[in-house]
Structure 1
Amino acid sequence: MVTMKEIANKAGVSVSTVSLVLNGRDEGRVKSKIADNVRAIATKLGYQSNPLASSLRTGRTHILGFISEEVATTPYAGGMILGAQTAASQFGYMLITVSTDGENSESEEIAALKRYGTDGFLYAKMSNRITHVPSSLAKTPLVLVDATDSLGKIPSVEPDEFQIGYDATTRLVKAGCARIAYVGCLEPLIAQDDRLEGYQAALRDAGLDYDDHLVVNVLNNGPALTAVSDLFDAEHPDGFFCFNDARAWYVYECAARRGLTVGKDISVVGVDNHRVFAETLEPMLTTVELPHFEMGYWAVAKLVSIIEGRSMDDVSWPATTAPLPPIDAPIPAKIHCTLIEKTSVK
């Protein structure tokens, strides 16, 4: 293993000078020409820093903990964790991910991560919701992912649910739909309330009246299919904005039973860009993609900015489907999701 002493001998400087340069503390203390030479020699010799030694000097382990409630078992977990992992690697951190299934499990996992000296935590939920943060995380650097704390004080990131409803409905308006239905969710979720508000606002801005007879909120399976079927027969919508891609399937099924062609006789927009539905339904479903990669990436960037006290103005952001909000965005930071055009809108 190459040591700082070897680099110092090659560069003709002291070990302390090499330490300052390789630990990024040379500005204003070491001449730039000397610092550049030290870095060049370190690269040529294949120098690698010692994480343990670094943690002893700085008091940081460069370990981040990702605490999730069932996130790791959902179809969207891969994108969120990939985004967080990508950012962690870029900023020189290691990410440890744990999935919990209750308060006792959660407490044990948090305690275990703290024993590793974790510098900060990401706390993620399965779907966008108001959450109470465990007291054991109260005094640690923390960012919430796809969740907002009940007091609105902890940095967090989530999809712009209102804009999802607005953009999806506006797309149907632009397709010439005049009777646009909303197939919503019966569960009390932030996403449900905000997407419904976005739907109503888009209708209003288009000069269309809101009609609650065109709104049906469902859970799943037989009762959901029956409710959507009744909506078809009673209200004859020509456009459907669906809470998610799974609910769009009921619309496709009801259309087929009536000899209607999606993308021709009626138009449908979903939410999720869920591969099972969005890529296998025929015609392929136009849908709003939820920003799982973006939320994971932004959350880590925000967490590192808190830990290191840096602005992130010098960060080179990755190319993403949805634009990332500024690192100092108001709480909660909202990501404007992207509508993915396919063939279900006429």
Structure 2
Amino acid sequence: MTISLNDIAERAGVSVKTVSGALHGGSARMSDDTRLRIREIAEELGYVTNFAARSMRQGWMPLIGVIADELVTSPFATGIIGGLDSGARASDMAVFAMTLSGRRTVASVLEEMHRFRPRAVAYAAMYHKRVELPAEFAETVGVMINCREANDRVTSLVPDEAGAALEMTNYLLNAGRRNIAYINLPGLLASELREIGFRQALDQGGFNGANATVLPAVNRAIYSDRAQSLVHSHVQQLMSVPQRPDAILCGNDRVAMEVYAALRRCGATIPDDVAVASFDNQVEIASRLDPPLTTMALPHRAMGRKAAQILLAEDRAPVEVKKIPFRLVERLSV
């Protein structure tokens, strides 16, 4: 026998609208106890959602669509999608992604996506940047993940880059390091913000942030891991002067890996002679270096979870830019 919402409502002593809200994320307001009781009754009766009927009734399927701006090529894609999926599954929703690249525009991706009638749509980027959405789609996209809408028309979740650099630099200062060099990633928004936090921490610590040593990791205006690296020459130069750095902050874990090799060529030990710290927490790199690397973990999973909360909220909150904090991962390089 097919179990209906009416059957569950009768057993629970509530309205069909309340049952629908408890099981399908509708707009009905109820206590957590009521929601839990309805779900227990539904499970006891063996209720199975008729997705086709539900879609016709509500006008949407239990899906969150993600416009993936090169996201699938990022080593951090699983963090964002995993966090979003975890939040979605808590409301009996599923996540699907469509890649934005090449000739596929936001308009064409959204047109294709809407064939599946998702309840909500997110836009997620491979790295922190500003994205200018066509004005007609600003209302369609519910949240930007790991990027910021250029005109601030959409709620955006971005890593707190300046805050992460401030925290890491303070960590180095508290460890007794006083001459900190920074090998940064040129041309990236994240790097610009991190440099601000780096210099701010030095100023607050009684050092001259304006005179700090900040060097580009590659010889291009915009960082790419395929560009010619300048790391070895920078480290060689830094270690050849009387005022050697006692710490090197790196723009990412790949740069830190190069710094390790360059320091060893100079006969310096980590962390006794020079501490090394970084950003990203690419575990396959950071945990396998010798010694393991102290780094700031990007908040991709947290951004995904927060995005699900925003997209599935009953009421749409005012548009804002939310900075999500990194997590300091202490290992043995400091």
TM score, norm. by length of structure 1:
0.82
Identity across the alignment (%):
28
Instruction: Find the residue that maps to 1:254 and give its secondary structure.
Output: helix
Name the CA distance, whole Å, in 2 between partners of 1:210 and 1:134.
39
CA deviation vs aligned residue, 1:113-137 (integer Å, no higher than 9, x gap):
1122222211111111111114563
Mapping for residues 108-187 of structure 1, pairs under 5 Å = 108-135=108-135, 137-187=137-187
Counterpart Cα distance in 1 of 2:321 and 2:240 = 41
1:205-260 CA distance string (max 9 Å, x none): 11112354621112254433223322332451111111111111222112101211
Provide the aligned length of Structure 1 versus Structure 2.
Answer: 319
Report the alpha carbon displacement of residue 204 of structure 1 after superposing the two structures with TM. Answer: 0.8
Distance 1:148 1:22, change over 3 A: same
Residue range with higher mean Cα deviation, 224-233 or 171-180: 224-233
Shift of 1:27: 11
Q: Does the 8 Å CA contact 2:279/2:298 hold for their aligned counterparts?
A: yes
| Corresponding residue of 1:49 | 49
The residue aligned with 2:255 is 247
Is the 8 Å Cα contact of residues 157 and 332 (structure 1) preserved in structure 2? yes
CA deviation profile, 1:276-320 (whole Å, cap 9, x unmatched): 320111000000000111111111211112xx3278xxxxxxxxx
Which residue of 2 is the match for residue 194 of structure 1?
193
What residue is the counterpart of 2:19 in the other structure?
22
Quote the Cα distance in structure 2 between the aligned partners of 1:36 and 1:255.
58
Write the distance in 2 (CA, Å) between the matches of 1:130 and 1:256: 38
CA RMSD of aligned residues (A): 3.1
Give yes or no for contact 1:64–1:122 (8 Å, CA) kept in 2. Answer: yes
5 Å matches for 1:232-243?
232-234=239-241, 235-243=243-251
Which range moved further: 100-109 or 192-201?
Answer: 100-109
Q: Contact 2:276–2:294 (CA<8 Å) still a contact in 1?
A: yes
CA contact (8 A) 1:4 1:19 kept: no
Counterpart in the other structure of 1:314: none
* Residues 141, 154 of structure 2: 8 Å contact kept: no
In structure 1, what is the Cα distance between the partners aligned to 2:326 and 2:90? 24
Structure 1 counterpart of 2:230: 223
Q: Given the alignment of the two structures, is residue 260 of structure 1 paired with residue 259 of structure 2, yes or no?
A: no
CA drift of 1:42 comes to 3.8
1:132-173 Cα offsets, whole Å, 9 max, x none, are: 114563331420001111112210101100111101111110
Q: Please tell me whether the aligned partners of residues 132 and 150 of structure 1 are also in contact (alpha carbons under 8 angstroms).
A: yes
Q: SS of the residue aligned with 1:261?
A: coil
8 Å contact from structure 1 (residues 18, 38) kept in 2: no
Q: Do the aligned residues in 2 keep the contact of 1:271 with 1:289 (CA within 8 Å)?
A: yes
Alignment CA distance shift 1:46-1:73 (3 Å): same
Q: Is the 8 A contact 2:276 2:293 kept in 1?
A: yes
Where does residue 223 of structure 2 map in the other structure?
A: none
Hey, what's the Cα distance between the residues in 1 that align with 2:138 and 2:330? 42
Separation (CA, whole Å) in 1 of partners of 2:290 and 2:74: 24
Question: In structure 2, do the counterparts of structure 1 residues 243 and 61 end up closer, same or farther at CA, with 3 Å as the change threshold?
Answer: same
Give the Cα separation in 2 of the matches to 1:180 and 1:156: 32
Equivalent-residue separation in structure 2 for 1:27 and 1:304 (angstroms): 10
Structure 1 contact 245–270 (Cα < 8 Å) conserved: yes
Report the CA distance shift for 1:230/1:51 in structure 2 as closer, same or farther (over 3 A). Answer: same
CA contact (8 A) 2:9 2:19 kept: no
Q: Give the whole-Å Cα distance in 1 for the aligned partners of 2:263 and 2:19.
A: 65
Structure 2: gaps of 5 or more residues: 219-226
Amino acid at match of 1:226: S
Whether 1:288 aligns to 2:296 is yes
Q: Does structure 2 conserve the Cα–Cα contact (< 8 Å) formed by 1:262 and 1:344?
A: yes
Residue 36 of structure 1 and its aligned partner are, at CA, apart by 9.7
Q: Equivalent residue for 2:75?
A: 75
Residue 334 (structure 1) shift: 0.6
